[in-house]
Amino acid sequence: MEIEGTTIDDAKQIALIVSEANKDVAEQFGIDFENNPKHPSFYTKEWVLSDFDRGEAYFICYENKVYTGCVAFEQPNPTTAYLNRLSVLPDYRHQGIGTKLVHHVLEHSRSKNIQFVSIGIIAAHQILKSWYINLGFIEGETQKFDHLPFDVTYLSYNL
């Protein structure tokens, strides 16, 4: 299993991974294009290119030349990073790929002297919340946003 940085040339592949990996989440929580058009299950190459333009970095995981997952890293300020769009294709889940991608972002953050990494998830997604907590993340506040059909829980990892 390899993880490497990406370029804009990988935007189409990243969009495919993010979109496919999030379709079951959208179905599970009743998310559709009408109630949440910005949900990752609708991710496009243009959105990825916009992420790159904003300074986000993507890392992609592959094995035997097959892409299996990806994650985005954003640094809004010198001490904070966001772990965004962690996505593992359904056929490759439960093989440690998500954990390796999270650890990669944590190590990348350490190399930049970042103090903590934050992520926001669907508050009702208890399995995902527990998974992050088991990786060492600490549950923070939950917020309601008028433009989202779900509440968001924030978790952070202190480096």
Residue 38 has phi, psi (to 5 degrees) of -100, 10
Hey, what are 99's tokens?
């954990």
Residue 158, beta-bridge partner list? 116
| Residue 154 to residue 10: CA distance in whole angstroms | 28
CA atoms within 13 A on the CB side of 14: 27
How confident is the model at residue 18, as a pLDDT?
98
Which domains are assigned to the chain? 2-158 (3.40.630.30)
How confident is the model at residue 118, as a pLDDT?
98
Per-residue pLDDT of the chain (159 residues; tens, 9 = 90+): 899 999 999 999 999 999 999 999 999 999 999 999 999 999 999 999 999 999 999 999 999 989 999 999 999 999 999 999 999 999 999 999 999 999 999 999 999 999 999 999 999 999 999 999 999 999 999 999 999 889 999 999 999
* Residue 157 · residue 116 · CB < 8 Å: yes
| HEC secondary structure over the chain | CEEEECCHHHHHHHHHHHHHHHHHHHHHCCCCCCCCCCCHHHCCHHHHHHHHHCCCEEEEEEECCEEEEEEEEEEEECCEEEEEEEEECHHHCCCCHHHHHHHHHHHHHHHCCCCEEEEEEECCCHHHHHHHHHCCCEEEEEEECCCCCCEEEEEEEEC
| Residue 19 to residue 44: CA distance in whole angstroms | 8
How confident is the model at residue 110, as a pLDDT?
97
pTM: 0.94
| Residue 80 to residue 27: CA distance in whole angstroms | 31
How confident is the model at residue 30, as a pLDDT?
94
From 122, 83, 80, select the one nearest 101 (Cα to Cα).
83
* Residue 87 · residue 71 · CB < 8 Å: yes
